[in-house]
Chains A and B, each alone.
Chain A
Amino acid sequence: MSRVRIPPMLRGEVGGVREVPAEGDTVRELLFDLMARFPSLRPQLVEDDDIAPFVNVYVEGEDVRTLDGLDTSVDHGSTVILLPAMAGGL
């Protein structure tokens, strides 16, 4: 079980909470567990069976694209951060 931090623009898809627990030994398993429970997250997170280019996934502060992508292993109890690009400044 890991804790997945949900960014504010995606909270509507998970009932408004800031953090959601998810199961999985890899980023793939973890995201698919999340998307199975919250299907409207899918277009926000994956594209062509890979992590969408406009969202970053960090496991313990490291971008999984610089690790093994969807196959990056996730230790039990890790903090996972989902981070879509946000443009707001005004």
Chain B
Amino acid sequence: MNGVATFPKAMPGYRELLQQVKSEIDEVDVTQARELLDAPERPLVVDVREPDEWTEGRIPGAIHIPRGNLESRIEQAAPDRAQPIFLYCAAGNRSAFAAKSLEELGYENVVSLAGGYTDWKRSGLETELPRTLDGEKRQRYSRHVLIPEVGEEGQLKLLDSRVLLLGAGGLGSPSALYLAAAGVGRLGIVDDDRVDASNLQRQVLHSTGRLGEWKAESAKRTLEELNPDVEVVPYIERLTSENVERILADGWDVIVDGADNFPTRYLINDAAVWHDIPLVHGSIYRFEGQATVFKPGAGPCYRCLFPQPPPPELAPSCAEGGVLGVLPGIVGSLQASEALKLCLGIGEPLVGRLLLFDALATEFSEVNLRRDPNCPVCGDSPTITEYVDYVEFCSGRPAHA
């Protein structure tokens, strides 16, 4: 009985509790709300209603955190306790309790909209209908929607995302399959090769019946069959200084590099730096693979990591050295995971870190990568500002200045 005995009076009913909470928080009416939201330092607007209410309309720019998830999710949306927060629900009661909870969590500047969305709408103020997934998509992507970091908004973001893949081979196969399955709306695939029997030990986009077909076309068929929400744009050509600008002009948010040669890797690196597009790098040889993310402005580029390619006689390719079939499955899947995080803007991408995987030892290790201030492309005073002859640059002959 010790807990109960300390209460000075009988437990309050809902009305009393609401009144008490309302007297302890800051409320604004619709007119004040409008001023707050029109101010240059706009507060974070949080809609605390249930999902079905949210889908019927909201205050423009609001984010949605249902009342029941508020305490667990608010820190991600507003890590700074001084961040002004504007809460609303339908009538201003749930948001009053929500404001009280946020104050208890240490948020210093929280207001609740008295009268809620009902008053806002009745006053003729602007509302917007959130985009939502239709029933079919909601089902297809339900396992994404369930993850708080992705959710419906995140899935819509993926459907709007555009990822360019270099190569529909070992690395490109798993990357493209997972990106398509995830519902990335547009996938570009650059590959000038045809499906060969020696590819099928690892290049899971293709199959025996596709021997001799263009890999980019075969990839398109496989991916669109997997997920008709995805538009696949095949480029049956090798990436060169002549076509790179045309291909990038189609607009890409992220590039996944699964190329098999140094000229293409240096070319796409330079292009990604100049176009400010994150580049997800992967490479494989025998039992070992590497992956990292070159994000312009946030970390090093490929040239910071390797200022020059090795002379050709010192650089065996998979065609010469071989590769364990499943290895690109692991490294390419890591690339897909990084690309999805970049599209969604979540997590800690592999920027400034090179992940090394050894399948024989089953060991992951990591080394740190730093941007080189003297890098000729992304450094403080770049000396390379336009495409060079990448084949010559990688041939071991001295590159022209």
Contact = CB atoms under 8 A, between A and B. Distances in A.
Is B one of A's binding partners?
Answer: yes
Interface stretch (B51-59, B107-115, B142-150, B258-266): B258-266
Q: How large is the interface on B (under 10, 10 to 19, 20 to 34, 35 or more residues)?
A: 35 or more
A89 B284 contact: yes
B171 A90 contact: yes
A21 interface: no
A8 B369 contact: no
B217 interface: no
A63 B258 CA distance: 24
Interface string B225-261: 0000000000000000000000000000000011111
Contacts of B307: 53-54
Contact of B282 (A61, A66, A89): A89
A52 B309 CA distance: 10
B367 A89 contact: no
Contacts of B282: 89
A87 B367 contact: no
Contacts of B278: none
Contacts of A85: 262, 305-306, 309-310, 315
Contact of A86 (B193, B283, B365, B369): B283
B5 interface: no
Nearest to A65: B372
B231 to A, nearest CB: 24
Interface in B273-317: 282-288, 290, 305-311, 314-317
A88 B323 contact: yes
Contact of A54 (B193, B199, B309): B309
A81 B283 CA distance: 17
Nearest to A8: B286
B169 A89 contact: yes
A51 B360 CA distance: 28
B370 interface: yes
Given A87-B262, A89-B170, A8 B285 contact: yes
Contacts of B172: 89-90
Given A86-B290, A88-B318, A61 B368 contact: yes
Contacts of B203: 90
Contact of B285 (A9, A62, A81): A9
Contacts of B258: 89-90
A84 interface: yes
B8 interface: no
Interface string B321-344: 101000010000000000000000
Contact of B265 (A52, A81, A87): A87
Interface of B: 166-167, 169-172, 193, 199, 203, 257-262, 265, 282-288, 290, 305-311, 314-319, 321, 323, 328, 354, 356, 358, 360-361, 365-370, 372
- 9 nearest CB pairs, A to B: A90-B169, A90-B260, A54-B310, A88-B318, A53-B308, A85-B306, A89-B258, A53-B307, A89-B171
